Structure 1
Amino acid sequence: MSIDLDEFRKEIPAINNYIYLNHAAISPTPVFALLEALGYLYGVSSRGSVHVNRVEENDFLEMRQRVASFIGAEASEVSFIPNTSFGINMIIHGLNLGKGDVVLTNNLEFPATVYPLYKLRERGVEVKLLRVEPGSIDETMSENIDERVRLVVVSHVSFNTGARIDIKKIKERAKKVGALLLVDAIQSAGALKLDVKETEVDFLLAGGYKWLMSPQGSGFMYVRKGLLKDPPFYGWKTSSTFMKFDSESFELETGPRRFEIGTIDVSANLAMSKIAEKLTPERERIERRVLDLSAHTVDEAEDMNFEVVTPKHRRAGITVVRTENPKGVAEKLLQKKIVVSPRGNGIRISTHFYNTEDEVSEALKAIKSCLS
């Protein structure tokens, strides 16, 4: 790949201390992105509002363009959010759902994707939580999309099984009944190539601190042009006249800033947009490398007689192997300087494109050693 693997690894200080296979939790920030964030903070330290005003010229247009290119969107469709929970709440409360409407999701979702939906029950909205299997999430959800369903909420990649969902298939069914599709891409943005126009998703959002390797507090939200013109919550930046600083002057902002109701974390999102810019030309190669590494992980785990939870034909960057006492195993691995996560009944190994096959092998051998 054009991004030299050895050179990129030099940007990740964490690998000098650990075998780091925990990108589905939090990724270490590359030095070049860290410097982008620090450069902004130093500018504020040395020049105060002079620097802030320069960076905020054109309403963060350059940052939006970087992220938009990364997901195949237009800059006017990209807003910055502090986390996925914020974005999901902004979307679901802006859709004017009511009694008789159904929101469809599933039991393998991360709580941040599901918990906000429960608030809709106060309006009489039915939250239908399907029980699904990792290898057939999209089929089960598609089969349950009927005329009452107004919104389908699903993760692109399952956090606790590693299963990749065919969101295009779900959208095709949703489109037939006029339902909208909200995709949580926090476990795929940065690992898989995303194209919102190709998949025709209506909403897509992600925090930046996982596969996008950005600081916590960074994140983006895509809202398809024409949707949610009037956001459910207002703040001082929701007005197109916000720079008048006049509480009696309000005109609804029509651009993506309408969802950024207050001051965003500029340094964190600068870092995220810089990473998006660097990864965009390499999206296909990065996806191929991520898939190759997870395939290697599955194969080697099976060769070592582990039960693999992740369906190989549905994998992304996450591989979950079933173990006894996963929390205890993860703690023992950390003592060996191997970073993974216990999830459910197994150990979650999440390999990014810069990891190596040797790192995977060492981790699996260490898990085997802990169990024996």
Structure 2
Amino acid sequence: MQNLRKKFPVLNQCIYANTASAGLLSEDLMEWRQGHDLDYLIGGSDMKNKGFAHMPEIKKTVGRFFGCQPEHVALVPNFSLGLNLLLEGLSKDKTVLLLENDYPSVNWPFETRNFKREYVTIDANLEEQIHGKVKSGNIDVLALSLVQWVNGVRIDLDFLKQLKKDFPNLIIIADGTQFLGMEPFHFEDSGIDILGASAYKWLLAGYGNGFYLVKEGVMDQFELKGIGNGSVNNDASQRNNISFCKYLEPGHLDSFNFGSLEFALNFLDEIGLEHIQTHLNKLSKKAMDTFNGMGLLESFVLERKQHSTIFNIKGDKALFQKLAAEEVVVSPRGGGIRLSFHFYNTEEEIDAIAKLLKR
């Protein structure tokens, strides 16, 4: 992983512990983007038309990378827009189970549409709480982030798979924005029915691109209403023959943004998600041991059997400003300071942060 750091020049200027806010732009992707816009400059509409025609290939790349059939992939600008389009087609008589203090783009769309809702707290017994609520028989939909944006708590994917087996009528909708890109993931083998994500964080694809993966068995639970010329690929004769995922693509799909997504996925594929996972596991353990030893972590985080590489440590605005002054890039979140590490981070950087905190 050390050689890969050279592709991210910002790492020469700071300790970047902020991928949970924004993943870094690589030199390779920047060069691809420059080439794309140069082609647009000299090719105009001809070049853009070729870009539109390439979208099915991008869906194949997304599907291959995440274990999903290409026709069950929808390309969206971001997770939030996709979820709002989906919920316009979901019956309001559904009762939804949400996590307290989950990412606003997960909870708010259900809340503003006045779905019947129940909540569980994010703690050491998160999975047991979810199972108990679903077992009560009143829950139709479970919607949650796979990794929590404030403190890095991650849901047990094996638990979700078993939950779906135990309650096959439960619709499980997940936000993978803070998870996808950390380790191998196969959608069809998971317990998740609908998985959406923005790709500017751990997938390192820049802003303006994301996707939804949808299992066929859940499609009849929605009557989607989003529609436009993009839904029929500029062919008005297909007005009454629109597939599920094309209702999530009512407008044009930008070749710059979704081409960036394709490039980023191929880049991660070359590195190997297994290698990324191994490195991130080391960083997670290192950070857990280091910050726990300093008494900086919430106690319930230590009780969970698995954690991501996102950590929220005790600290105020003054500490945040001191870290910033020392060229450590982090985010104030949830009353503390959030640090997040990707494959371009090192154990030595965690030691350096700990040294600054001790000072």
Give the TM-score of the pair, scaled to structure 1. Answer: 0.88
1:278 aligns with 2:270: no
3-state SS of paired residue (1:263): coil
Q: 2:247 aligns with which of 258, 274, 281?
A: 258
Equivalent pair of 1:167/1:199 in contact (CA under 8 Å)? yes
Q: 2:64 aligns with which of 69, 74, 96?
A: 69
Matching of residues 164-313 of structure 1 within 5 Å: 164-177=154-167, 178-228=169-219, 230-239=223-232, 242-244=234-236, 250-254=239-243, 256-280=245-269, 282-308=272-298, 310-311=301-302, 313=305
Structure 2 equivalent of residue 9 of structure 1: 5
Contact residue 33 and residue 272 of structure 1 kept, 8 A? no
Distance 1:255 1:233 in 2: 10
Deviation at 1:171, TM superposition (A): 4.3
**Quick check: 2:160–2:191 contact (8 Å CA) kept in 1?**
no
Q: 5+ unaligned residues in a row in structure 2: which ranges?
A: none
Secondary structure, aligned partner of 2:143: strand
Which letter does structure 2 place at the counterpart of 1:109?
D
In structure 1, distance between residues paired with 2:51 and 2:253 = 12
Q: Deviations over 1:101-123 (max 9, x none)?
A: 211111031111100001331xx
Deviation at 1:173, TM superposition (A): 2.6
Which of 342, 354, 359 is matched with 1:352 structurally?
342
Correspondence for 2:36 among 33, 40, 47 = 40
Alignment partners' CA distance in 2, 1:176 and 1:88: 25
CA distance in 2, matches of 1:367, 1:342: 15
Q: Do the aligned partners of 2:152 and 2:307 also contact (CA within 8 Å) in 1?
A: yes
Distance in 2 between residues matched to 1:98 and 1:307, nearest whole Å = 39
Distance 1:41 1:179, change over 3 A: same
- Displacement, 1:42? 2.0
- Residue identity opposite 1:213 in structure 2: L
CA–CA distance in structure 1, aligned partners of residues 47 and 274 of structure 2: 36
* Counterpart position of 2:100: 107
C-alpha distance in structure 2 between counterparts of 1:218 and 1:344, whole Å: 27
Q: Distance in 1 between matches of 2:150 and 2:35?
A: 36
The answer for the alignment partner of 1:364 in structure 2 is 354
3-state DSSP of counterpart to 2:283: helix
Q: For residues 7 and 206 of structure 2, what CA distance do their matches in structure 1 show? A: 15
- Name the structure 1 match of 2:21: 25
1:98 aligns with 2:96: no
**One-letter identity of the residue aligned with 2:282:** D
Matches within 5 A, 1:81-92: 81-92=76-87
Partner Cα separation in structure 2 for residue 317 and residue 149 of structure 1: 31
Alpha-carbon distance, 1:226 to partner: 4.6
For 1:222, give the aligned amino acid. Answer: L
Say whether the 8 Å CA contact 2:188–2:215 is kept in structure 1.
no
Q: Does 1:154 align with 2:136?
A: no
> How far is the alpha carbon of 1:217 from its aligned partner?
0.8
Alignment check: 8 A CA contact 1:138 1:167 kept: no
Alpha-carbon separation, structure 1, partners of 2:184 and 2:314 = 28
**Alignment partners' CA distance in 1, 2:24 and 2:83:** 25
Q: 2:279, 2:337 → 1: CA distance? A: 21
Local SS of the residue matching 1:55: helix
- CA RMSD in angstroms, aligned pairs only: 2.1
Unpaired stretches in structure 1, ≥5 consecutive residues: none
Whether the aligned pair in 1 keeps the contact of 2:15 and 2:329 (CA below 8 Å) is yes
* 1:347-366 per-position Cα deviation (integer Å, ceiling 9, x unaligned): 21111012111111111222
Identity of aligned residues (%): 24
Tell whether the 8 Å contact from 1:142 to 1:169 is kept in structure 2 after alignment. Answer: no
* Distance verdict in 2 for CA 1:239–1:226, change over 3 Å: farther
User: Alignment partner of 2:308: what SS?
Assistant: coil
| 1:118 aligned counterpart, secondary structure | helix
- The total of aligned residue pairs comes to 352
Give secondary structure in 1 for the equivalent of 2:151.
Answer: coil
Shift of 1:346: 2.1
- Per the TM alignment, residue 278 of structure 1 is displaced from its structure 2 partner at its CA by 2.3
Partner Cα separation in structure 2 for residue 149 and residue 351 of structure 1:
35
Contact 1:192 1:286 in 2 (8 A): yes
